[in-house]
Amino acid sequence: MKHRKTSNYGFTIFLLMLVTSLNAQVVSFSQEQISLEALFDTLTNKTSIDIAYDVNSIPTDSIISADFYHQHALAIVQHVLKSEDVDIVYVDGQIVIRKMLNDQDNLQSHIIIQGTVMDADEMIALPLVNISVKGRPLGTISNADGQYEFKVPLFYQGEVMVFSFLGYQSLEMTIPERDTLADVQLMSSTVKLNEVQVAYKDPDEILSELYASYAANYFDEQAVLSGFFRESIKQDDAYVQVSEAIVEIVKPSYLNPSSMERVRFIKGRKKNDLQAMDLIDFKLEGGPFQFSRVDIARYKDFFHEENSQYKYAYGGIDILDDEIVYKVLFKPVSDDGDHLYKGTMYINAESFALVRSEFELTKKALRSSGRTLIKKASRKVKAKPLKASYYIDYRPFNGKWILNRIDGKIVIHINDRRKKVNSVFTAVSELLISDWEARDKVKLKPSELYKSNYVLSEQITETDADFWEDYNIIRPDEALEKVFKKTKVVSK
């Protein structure tokens, strides 16, 4: 009897919580004449349920009479749109209204695998985990919350999907036949590292091997890279600008670094109604164009054979893609305030390919970098760079290494007494290479080229309702998802 009472008590609490949650989503509403758009806005305000829709799929200006008592917002939306040819879905506190797909539209060309990557021991989310198809150039990564969404062509069904992260054992799974939710847990590689005899390795010897093996590790042919680029700016803790784009990068041979990359903008979206920027002239020029050139394996920025600007130190070993990598630390020989960096290069112990690097401007370089990092409209504006850091890695493909992703963060403190602004601005740029294809001849029109002085947000003139489509992107983390959910879906 005691056990039964305890069980009933627990069920009562659960039922009470469920009823309370549902009551927060129901509403009573009565008005003789109201437009569909105004009705949806009212429902959102009363229930906090976001309603997203394609403005061309429903007559938002239609005037209706609304009289509802204690009904869930979803039931109300379904009732007022019962005669419309639309699909209504309720997911994660959001109602999404879409034009009904015909049989041809329903032909699925991709399998979508999504979930969360966790540390198997600590059960904490792992951000920026590499996710790829074994032996294929296709890939994506997990977001800041460890969540991922990977779209693979149907003909990849049955092939092997790989999750890899520095310091962890790689995990493999078979690509399923249909859309699947797959939460995974990665095991630490600590045990494997303990089995390896850790001995000092001369960093200059590692770099010599890097030079000698360079031609064997990177492609001596032009390639076209499909990429996803996101650029976000925060003023203190609030987003003030978010832009996302799908781009194509024409990447020349790694053995011919004098040829410059070309970038073609395909489509994108941006968030326009965030709180206004206090400083109009704070812009990031270059975007995906500049990021395509932060390819240190191709340009040999920190390890050129004739480079005498940097000195090196051995940083030990780690595990990446189930293989040992050497860590080579670098910093300027003389930090004279020039545009110099310090950081770590990760070099595969077997192939001696540079597979990852983390680096940042030195303190002296930061102090003298104002002109390159900051645009000011007035001498009365005091701007102080606080940090400029970058991350880049590569993934294996056909026995060589291809660009995988680049991240950059610039943090600047700005004080403008005239406008009463005293804020820290954080600009984060992310480039994910989701696909790679060798292609010798590529013709791009001058009008298609993304130029170095472009500002990404200014290139996106209208939001594409089908932005996500079949492209692999970096799934927004929870904070960014909330930013985008506040915007209705707009048709092109």
Q: What is the CATH number of the domain that holds 170?
A: 2.60.40.1120
pLDDT of 272 higher than 70 = no
The answer to whether residue 452 scores a pLDDT higher than 90 is: no
394 or 14: which carries more pLDDT confidence?
A: 394
Closest by Cα among 385, 406, 399 to 297 = 406
Mark whether 298 and 334 lie in a shared domain.
yes
- Between 116 and 85, residue with greater pLDDT: 116
Do 286 and 382 have their domain in common? yes
With 60 as the cut, is the pLDDT of residue 454 above it?
yes
CATH number at residue 31: 3.55.50.30
Of 138, 166, 194, which residue constitutes the final position of a domain? Answer: 194
Q: pLDDT value at position 16? A: 33
Q: Is residue 46 part of a domain?
A: yes
Please tell me whether residues 414 and 329 are part of one structural domain: yes
Same domain, 186 and 208: no
Give the pLDDT confidence score for residue 487 in this predicted structure: 52
pLDDT at 245 exceeding the cut of 60: yes
Q: Is the pLDDT of residue 67 over 80?
A: yes
296-327: b or e for each residue (b if 16 or more CB lie within 10 Å)?
bbbebbbbeeeeebbebebbebbbbbeebbbb
Give 107: exposed, middle or buried? Use CB within 10 Å, 0-12, 13-18, 19+: exposed
Count other C-beta atoms under 10 Å from residue 294's C-beta.
Answer: 20
Contact call for residues 414 and 423 (beta carbons, < 8 A): yes
CB atoms within 10 A of CB 146: 20
Q: 103 pLDDT exceeds 90?
A: no
The pLDDT score that the predictor gives to residue 471 is 86
Band the pLDDT of 173: cuts 50, 70, 90. Answer: very high
Lowest model confidence (mean pLDDT) among 69-73, 91-95, 107-111, 154-158: 91-95
Q: Are 347 and 201 in contact (CB under 8 A)?
A: no
29/54: higher pLDDT: 29
63 vs 368, more confident: 63
Query: Per-residue confidence at 492, pLDDT binned at 50, 70, 90?
Result: very low
In a domain, 315, yes or no: yes
Q: Give yes or no: residues 179 and 305 share one domain.
A: no
> Long-range contacts of range 34-42, CB-CB < 8 Å, 24 or more positions apart?
34/63, 34/64, 34/65, 34/66, 35/60, 35/61, 35/62, 35/63, 35/64, 36/60, 36/61, 36/62, 36/64, 36/80, 36/81, 37/61, 39/64, 39/66, 39/76, 39/80, 40/77
Pairing type for strands 381-397 and 354-361 reads antiparallel
CA atoms within 13 A on the CB side of 473: 19
> Quick check: 114 pLDDT over 80?
yes
Q: Would you say residue 483 lies in a domain? A: no
If asked whether residues 237 and 309 sit together in one domain, one would say yes
Range of the domain at 81: 2-99
**Model confidence pLDDT, tens digit, residues 321-363:** 889 999 999 999 988 767 789 999 999 999 999 999 999 999 8
Q: Residue 266 and residue 460: Cα distance in Å, rounded?
A: 10
Q: Are residues 282 and 184 in the same domain?
A: no
Same domain (yes/no): 348, 372: yes
Share of the chain above pLDDT 90, in %: 39
Classify residue 478: in a domain, yes or no. no
Whether the CB-CB separation of 305 and 467 falls below 8 Å is answered with no
CA dist 169 and 323 (Å) reads 9
Give me the mean pLDDT over the 398-415 stretch.
91
Round the average pLDDT of the chain to a whole number and report it: 81
In terms of domains, do 68 and 154 share one?
no
The answer on 332 and 444 residing in a single domain is: yes
Residue 47 included in any domain: yes
* Total domains in the fold of the chain: 3
Query: Is 307 a member of any domain?
Result: yes
In this structure, are 416 and 284 located in the same domain?
Answer: yes
Query: Residue 191, Cβ neighbours under 10 Å: how many?
Result: 9
| Confidence grade of residue 66 (pLDDT, cut at 50, 70, 90) | confident
- Cβ pair 217, 188 in contact under 8 A: no
Assigned domain for 358 exists: yes
- List the beta bridge partners of residue 52: 96
Domain boundary among 173, 194, 215: 194
For residue 78, what pLDDT is reported? Answer: 87
Q: What is the mean pLDDT of residues 263-284?
A: 68
Q: What is the pLDDT of residue 374?
A: 60
Residues 208 and 190 in one domain: no
For residue 105, the model assigns a pLDDT of 47
Confidence bin at 380 (pLDDT 50/70/90) = low
In this predicted structure, what is the pLDDT of residue 1?
35
- The token pair that represents 214 in the structure block: 């360079």
Block residue for tokens 């469920």: 18
| 51, 80, 99 - which closes a domain | 99
Residue 289 scores a pLDDT above 60: yes
Range with the poorest average pLDDT among 85-89, 196-200, 337-341, 390-394: 196-200
Confidence of residue 212 (pLDDT cuts 50, 70, 90): very high
| For range 177-205, the mean pLDDT | 81
Residue 395 CA: distances (Å) to CA of 188, 273, 321 = 20, 37, 9
pLDDT of residue 5: 36
CB 44 within 8 A of CB 87: no
Residue 470 lies in a domain: no
404-437 per-residue burial string, b: 16 or more CB within 10 A, e: under 16: bbbbbebbbebebeeeeeebebbbbbbbbbbbbe
